[in-house]
Chain A
Amino acid sequence: MESAPPNRSDLLRVTKLTKTYAVGDAQVVALDGVDFVAASGEFVVILGPSGSGKSTFLNLIGGLDTASAGQAWFRDWQITGADDAGLTRYRRNHVGFVFQFYNLVPSLTARENVQLVTEIATNPMAPAEALAMVDMADRMDHFPAQLSGGEQQRVAIARAIAKRPDILLCDEPTGALDSKTGIVVLEALTRINAELGTTTLVITHNAAIRTIAHRVVSFADGRIAAIDTNAERQPAASVRW
Chain B
Amino acid sequence: MVSGLSALHRKLLRELLRLWAQVLAIALVMAAGVATLLIGIGTYQSLERTREAYYQSHHLANVFATVTRAPGSMLAKIGAMDGVLAVDGRIVKVALADIEGLEQPASVRLISLPQQQAGTLNRLYLRSGRLPEAANHMEAVVSEIFAQAHGFREGSQFGVVVNGAWRQVTITGIALAPDHVYAIAPGEITPNSGRFGILWAPERTLAAAYDLGGAFNAVSVQLAPGTSEDAVITELDRLLDPFGAQGAHGRSQLTSHAYLDAELQQLRSMSEVLPPVFLLVAAFLVNMTLTRLIALEREQIGLLKAIGYSGRAIAWHYVEFVLLIAIIGLVIGTSFGVWAGNALTELYTRFYSFPVLVFSREPSLYAIAGGITLAAAVVGAIRAVRAAAALPPAVAMSPPAPPTYRRHSTRRLHLPLRQTGVMVMRQLLHRPWRSGGGIVGIALSVAVLVGSLWSVGGVEFMIDYSFNRTERQDAIVNFTSSKPLAATAEIARLPGVLSAEPFRAVGVEIGHAQVTRQIALMGRPATSPLTRILDADLKVVPIPPQGVLLTRSLAGILGVSPGDSVDIRLLDGERQRHQLHVAAVVESYLGLGAYMDMAALQALIGEGNRISGVNVTIDSLHQSELFAALKRSPSLGHISLQAAALTQFRATMAQNMYVMIAVLVGLASLIAFGVVYNFARISLSEQGREMASLRVLGFTRGEVSALLLTEIAILTLLAQPLGWFLGVLVARGMVEGFSSELFSMPLIIGPDVFATASLAVMAAALLSGLVVRRRVDRLDLIAVLKTRE
Whether A107 pairs with B695 at a CB distance below 8 angstroms is no
Chain B residue contacts of A117, Cβ below 8 A: 697-698
Chain B residue contacts of A88, Cβ below 8 A: 695, 698-701
Q: Which residues of chain A (55-69) have a CB below 8 Å from chain B?
A: 55, 59, 64-65
Tell me, in angstroms, the Cα distance from A101 to B786 when the chains sit together: 8
Whether B405 pairs with A143 at a CB distance below 8 angstroms is yes
B558 touches A (CB below 8 Å): no
Max chain A CB contacts within 10 Å: which of B418, B696, B701?
B696
Separation in Å of the B427 CB from the closest CB of chain A? 6
Whether A91 pairs with B698 at a CB distance below 8 angstroms is yes
Separation in Å of the B175 CB from the closest CB of chain A? 75
Given A88-B700, A101-B788, A107-B427, check contact A116 B403 (CB 8 Å): no
Contact stretch, chosen from B8-16, B322-330, B625-633, B686-694: B686-694
Given A59-B782, A101-B788, A116-B420, check contact A145 B404 (CB 8 Å): yes
Chain A residue contacts of B418, Cβ below 8 A: 119
Given A85-B700, A112-B419, check contact A106 B787 (CB 8 Å): no
Tell me, in angstroms, the Cα distance from A91 to B786 when the chains sit together: 18
Q: Which residue of A lies closest to B429 (CB)?
A: A107
Whether B405 pairs with A91 at a CB distance below 8 angstroms is no
Separation in Å of the B14 CB from the closest CB of chain A? 20
Chain B residue contacts of A85, Cβ below 8 A: 700
Separation in Å of the A31 CB from the closest CB of chain B? 13
Tell me, in angstroms, the Cα distance from A179 to B312 when the chains sit together: 44
Whether A106 pairs with B403 at a CB distance below 8 angstroms is yes
A97 touches B (CB below 8 Å): yes
A159 touches B (CB below 8 Å): yes
Interface string of A29-59 (1 = CB under 8 A from B): 0000000000000000000000000010001
Separation in Å of the B150 CB from the closest CB of chain A? 70
Whether B699 pairs with A103 at a CB distance below 8 angstroms is no
Q: Which residue of A lies closest to B407 (CB)?
A: A109
Interface string of B730-767 (1 = CB under 8 A from A): 00000000000000000000000000000000000000
Interface string of A106-123 (1 = CB under 8 A from B): 111100110111011100
Whether A145 pairs with B782 at a CB distance below 8 angstroms is no
Separation in Å of the A97 CB from the closest CB of chain B? 5
Tell me, in angstroms, the Cα distance from A163 to B701 when the chains sit together: 20
B293 touches A (CB below 8 Å): no
Interface residues on A, range: 35 or more
Interface string of B215-255 (1 = CB under 8 A from A): 00000000000000000000000000000000000000000
Chain A residue contacts of B700, Cβ below 8 A: 85, 88, 92
Chain B residue contacts of A120, Cβ below 8 A: 698-699, 703
Q: Which residue of A lies closest to B789 (CB)?
A: A101
A239 touches B (CB below 8 Å): no
Max chain B CB contacts within 10 Å: which of A84, A85, A95, A105?
A105
A73 touches B (CB below 8 Å): no
Separation in Å of the B336 CB from the closest CB of chain A? 41
Whether B787 pairs with A92 at a CB distance below 8 angstroms is no
Separation in Å of the B197 CB from the closest CB of chain A? 72
Max chain A CB contacts within 10 Å: which of B422, B690, B698?
B698
Given A103-B693, A116-B420, check contact A64 B781 (CB 8 Å): yes
> Which one of A92, A101, A145, A171 contacts B698 once the chains associate, using CB atoms below 8 Å?
A92
Chain B residue contacts of A141, Cβ below 8 A: 407
A144 touches B (CB below 8 Å): yes
Separation in Å of the A143 CB from the closest CB of chain B? 6
Chain B residue contacts of A109, Cβ below 8 A: 407
B426 touches A (CB below 8 Å): yes
Chain A residue contacts of B151, Cβ below 8 A: none
Chain A residue contacts of B4, Cβ below 8 A: none
Tell me, in angstroms, the Cα distance from A54 to B17 when the chains sit together: 36
Whether A105 pairs with B698 at a CB distance below 8 angstroms is no
Whether B407 pairs with A105 at a CB distance below 8 angstroms is no
Chain B residue contacts of A105, Cβ below 8 A: 419, 423, 690, 693-694
Whether B690 pairs with A64 at a CB distance below 8 angstroms is no
Whether A101 pairs with B422 at a CB distance below 8 angstroms is no
Separation in Å of the B701 CB from the closest CB of chain A? 7
Q: Which residue of A lies closest to B689 (CB)?
A: A103
B785 touches A (CB below 8 Å): yes
Interface string of B401-426 (1 = CB under 8 A from A): 01111010000000000111011001
Whether A106 pairs with B699 at a CB distance below 8 angstroms is no
Whether A89 pairs with B423 at a CB distance below 8 angstroms is no
B430 touches A (CB below 8 Å): yes
Q: Which residue of B lies closest to A159 (CB)?
A: B697
Q: Which residues of chain B (497-520) have a CB below 8 Å from chain A?
A: none
A211 touches B (CB below 8 Å): no
Whether B697 pairs with A97 at a CB distance below 8 angstroms is yes
Tell me, in angstroms, the Cα distance from A112 to B405 when the chains sit together: 13
Chain B residue contacts of A121, Cβ below 8 A: 698
Max chain B CB contacts within 10 Å: which of A85, A99, A101, A159?
A101
Separation in Å of the B711 CB from the closest CB of chain A? 12
Chain A residue contacts of B430, Cβ below 8 A: 107
Tell me, in angstroms, the Cα distance from A176 to B787 when the chains sit together: 12
Separation in Å of the A104 CB from the closest CB of chain B? 8
Interface string of A78-93 (1 = CB under 8 A from B): 0000001100111111
Q: Which residue of B lies closest to A92 (CB)?
A: B698
Given A107-B426, A107-B430, A112-B422, check contact A92 B697 (CB 8 Å): yes
Whether A103 pairs with B785 at a CB distance below 8 angstroms is yes
Separation in Å of the B435 CB from the closest CB of chain A? 14
Q: Which residues of A contact B (CB under 8 A)?
A: 55, 59, 64-65, 84-85, 88-93, 95, 97, 99, 101, 103-109, 112-113, 115-117, 119-121, 141, 143-145, 159, 163, 171, 176
6 contacts between A and B (CB under 8 A): A64-B781, A88-B700, A91-B696, A106-B690, A107-B427, A119-B418
- Which 3 residue pairs spanning A and B have beta carbons closest together? A92-B698, A145-B402, A107-B426
